Amino acid sequence: MICIGCVNQKGGVGKTTTAVNLAAALAAAGKRTLFVDLDPQGNGTSAMGIDRETPSAYDLLIKHIPITQVIRPTEWDNLSAIPSHPDLYGAEVELLHQPGREFKLADALALVARDYYYIIIDAPPSLGMLCLNVLVAAQKLVIPVQGEYYALEGLSMLIQTIERVKASLNPKIDILGIVLTMYDQRLNLSRQVAEELRTHFPGKVFETTISRSVRLAEAPSHGQPAIWYDFRSIGAQNYIKLAQEVLNATEKDSTR
């Protein structure tokens, strides 16, 4: 099992879109995949077409409902999901009073690790207790970054947090890659941000960039990942290429 957290404390950078479509593309590639929505906004849950009133990640972390009762099938082969719920907003506070609070998600996922090739976690846009649970559970991180300079400012803070977690709680964690989202190659700014990222994080920026796409924005309202909503759209094709990069990188690591 390879557990990948999709993280960025800055909202609006395409984090959930990346998590949903990466999970869907990996499943489409024949890899049994579990999508975990730990963002209280629940946009990933909606994008998977799952009812948010079912047992959720909140019940898993706070009420200790067995993970097998929280996992939901989707209508697509090889893809299951743990839905989010607005109650997760309160979990940030409730987890503070629980022993082993940083390991709640990791401990739960360990029970089903043999059932999946990939687990993809959509973290909340913050650096709170829920995000910390993602950082402790994950082996690899995918960091979506929008092609603008404001997006770069928060990246150093996130990297520092990851390094602290690696030193104290999860020595296995590593950045699999930074992915540029909402990319427009016609804009000098987008190209400059891409060059700066590749300069400061050599070998850690995916070759695939995610272009702005109307279809990517439309797909969640139909309860579908973009690769099934419109397979031929540029956004869907971008995520299929990104999934191939992830497959290549993780399978290369597993053979070392």
Q: Given this model, what pLDDT does residue 256 score?
A: 43
Calculate the alpha carbon distances from 226 to 67, 84, 129 in Å: 27, 20, 30
Q: Given this model, what pLDDT does residue 254 score?
A: 56
Q: Given this model, what pLDDT does residue 253 score?
A: 66
Q: Given this model, what pLDDT does residue 224 score?
A: 93
Q: Give the span between the Cα atoms of 25 and 19, in whole angstroms.
A: 10
Q: Given this model, what pLDDT does residue 58 score?
A: 96
Q: Give the span between the Cα atoms of 50 and 52, in whole angstroms.
A: 6
Note down pLDDT in tens along the chain; length 256 residues: 999 999 998 888 889 999 999 999 999 999 999 999 999 999 999 999 998 778 999 999 999 999 999 999 999 999 999 999 999 999 989 998 888 999 999 999 999 999 999 999 999 998 899 999 999 999 999 999 987 767 677 788 889 999 999 999 999 999 999 999 987 766 767 788 888 888 888 899 999 999 988 888 899 889 999 988 988 999 999 999 999 999 999 987 654 4
Task: Report whether 162 contacts 90 (CB < 8 A).
Answer: no
> Which CATH number belongs to the domain containing residue 27 in this structure?
3.40.50.300
Task: Give the number of domains in the chain.
Answer: 1
The answer to whether the predicted template modeling score (pTM) of the entire model surpasses 0.75 is: yes
* Nearest CA among 216, 211, 158, 153 for reference residue 181: 211
Q: Given this model, what pLDDT does residue 53 score?
A: 79
List of residues 6+ apart from 216 with CB closer than 8 A: 17, 21, 210, 226, 233, 235, 236
Calculate the alpha carbon distances from 61 to 69, 115, 231 in Å: 13, 20, 35
Question: Domain range holding 229?
Answer: 2-254
Q: Give the span between the Cα atoms of 146 and 143, in whole angstroms.
A: 10
